[in-house]
Each structure stands twice: as C-alpha cells, then as structure tokens.
Amino acid sequence: MTTNSYHTPVLLHAAVDGLNINPQGTYVDVTFGGGGHSAKILEKLTTGKLYAFDQDPDAQKNIVPNENLIFIPSNFRFLNNFLHLHNVTQIDGLLADLGVSSHQFDDATRGFSFRFDARLDMRMDKNAGLDAYQVVNTYEEADLANIFYLYGELRNSRLIAKKISIARREAPIETTAQLQVVLDGMVPAKMKTGFFAQVFQALRIEVNHELDVLCELLESATNLLKPGGRLVIMSYHSLEDRLVKNYIRSGNVRGELEKDFYGNLKRPLTEVNRKPIVPDEDEIKINNRARSAKLRIAEKN
C-alpha cells in the first residue's frame, strides 16, 4: 500500500488503538484512501474481517491481497446497504478519516487545491454528476452566499457570491485560477491563503454533500455497532468536529439532550476521550496537513 505517495495517515496508532480491536471482530474503515489505517487494523486481525469503503477509483490502486479484507468501491453513505449485502448486521468498530486525501489535494487535475490551475471539479467520486464548475456557474447568487457562509464560515459571503455572479455573466468561470482572479483583492495579502482555503472548502463540501453524508454515517454506524463497539472519527475542520462532538454527547447532531419516557437521557454512545486527541508537534512537522486533525472516540452503550 503506497501510503507515503498517496496519503500519510494521521494519528495512525491512536486511531487504530481507539478501536480496541478484537482479533476475531468485524470492523469498517469507511475512508480507505492510501490504506494506512486499514493495514494497521489488518495486522491486529486473525479471523476477523475488515470492510473498507472508498468512492475514489484511485484508492483501489492501494489494495493488497488479504483474505480478511473486503473492499467496497462506494461512498460510505451506502454503508448499511453494502454491509447487509455481505450479511453483516453488527460490527465491532468503525473508523472514519474525514476530508480530502493528500493524493486528491496533490493531484492538480482534481481541482481540490488553489495551488494548481485546473478545471473546477472537486468531486471525490469522479462519476458524480455535480462538480464545482456547476456550483460556481449555475447556482443562484443567494445560494452561493449561503454555501460560503455555512460551509466556509466566511462573513463576507454575500460579496463573494456577488463578485462571482457578476464575473460569470461575461464568461463562465472554468478553472481554479480564474476563480482566484475573480476574488482577488477581497482580503489583505497575508490573509489570502486562509481565505481561499475557506472558499474552496465551502465548494468542496457542497459538491460532495460532506456534512449530510457525515450525519447519515453517524446514525448508521451507531445502529450497526455492538454494545461495547467503538466509533473512531477524525475530522479536520470545525463544522465536521461539531457534528461529531454533538452526536457523541447527545445522540443527535444538534447537540440537544433528549430523554425517554422514564426521564433517562437517550445517549447511545459514551465518550472514551472527553477532549479530542490531536497530533503532537513531531507529527505535524512530518505531515503539516495533520495540524488541524481532531480524533474523537466513543463506545456503544
């Protein structure tokens, strides 16, 4: 598995240790990527099984033969469907390393990074219908403003949307470089990198429906876990982490505590680590993209 060239797994040991692996158990890695987390899980299995999901065809190049590994080339929003297809109704643990892989960021043709000039794409699944070009060029101005505000947490979202709307009347905005030209000058030079990171994050989340898919995953995973089973999720920005934290603590992504008929709190999960685990300085030096990672671990009640 080419983990170095494709994707360097973040918090590798902490994440896999968080699963508290039973060598005969059933586990799911919903973000196979370069296969780094999966490889470490497989090392700990004897007769157990690992079901690995990834919708990106490039990830399939990292599969190595292993009788305990079943690879599923699909978005993890279809977790239930495919596990039931394999007669799996309960699992001992699930790991998710959310966001974009190093490979996807570094592949100039995918349009994920503003470091390269490429067609506005940003699809994690190359066969998906919606891409960033369509979002930028066909969404109503008000909808664009909402996306930049909600998914990019940009306070000047309306102005961003207005500039895009005006520019695309002259000609479609086709590439990452063209989008940057349209929005150039909106923030001081020293803030430009962070600004464009937020703009691109917002578009990527919309294209891939990332937050909706995460909400579905949290519910599906919780229902599939056996009592004592572990949920291990790594997030890279506050929007994802807030959803994960809320769900673990309250059983819903809104973070609202609910009670049953008898007044007992309806909490299907218990936090294993009250505060998120974050990479140390040594790991960040080796892999700068680890700097924003937050790892949360929960156990099924």
The number of distinct structural domains making up the chain is 2
CA pair distance 23, 93, nearest whole angstrom: 12
CA pair distance 162, 185, nearest whole angstrom: 14
141: CATH: 1.10.150.170
Is 113 part of a structural domain of the chain? no
Q: Among 206, 224, 253, which residue terminates a domain? A: 206
For the chain, the residue count is 301
| Poorest-pLDDT segment among 124-133, 177-186, 244-253, 290-299 | 124-133
pLDDT grade, residue 2 (50/70/90)?
Answer: very low
The half-sphere exposure of 16 on its side-chain side, counting CA atoms within 13 A, is 17
92: phi then psi, degrees, rounded to nearest 5? -95, -15
pLDDT in tens, 102-130: 667 677 778 778 888 999 999 988 888 89
Answer yes or no: do 98 and 215 share one domain: yes
Which residue in 275, 279, 285 sits closest to 248, CA to CA? 275
Is 117 part of a structural domain of the chain? no
Is 122 part of a structural domain of the chain? no
Answer yes or no: do 61 and 85 share one domain: yes
CA pair distance 9, 41, nearest whole angstrom: 13
Is 118 part of a structural domain of the chain? no
76: CATH: 3.40.50.150
Answer yes or no: do 180 and 47 share one domain: no
CA pair distance 229, 237, nearest whole angstrom: 25
How many other β-carbons are positioned within 10 Å of the β-carbon of residue 65? Answer: 5
Answer yes or no: do 87 and 157 share one domain: no
Q: Among 206, 233, 251, which residue terminates a domain? A: 206
Answer yes or no: do 177 and 219 share one domain: no
CA pair distance 38, 28, nearest whole angstrom: 9
Per the structure, the complete domain to which residue 172 belongs is given by 129-206
299: phi then psi, degrees, rounded to nearest 5? -125, 140
CA pair distance 287, 171, nearest whole angstrom: 39
Q: Is the pLDDT of residue 101 over 80?
A: no
Question: Is residue 137 packed enough to be buried (19+ CB in 10 Å), middle (13-18) or exposed (0-12)?
Answer: middle
Q: Is the pLDDT of residue 146 over 70?
A: yes
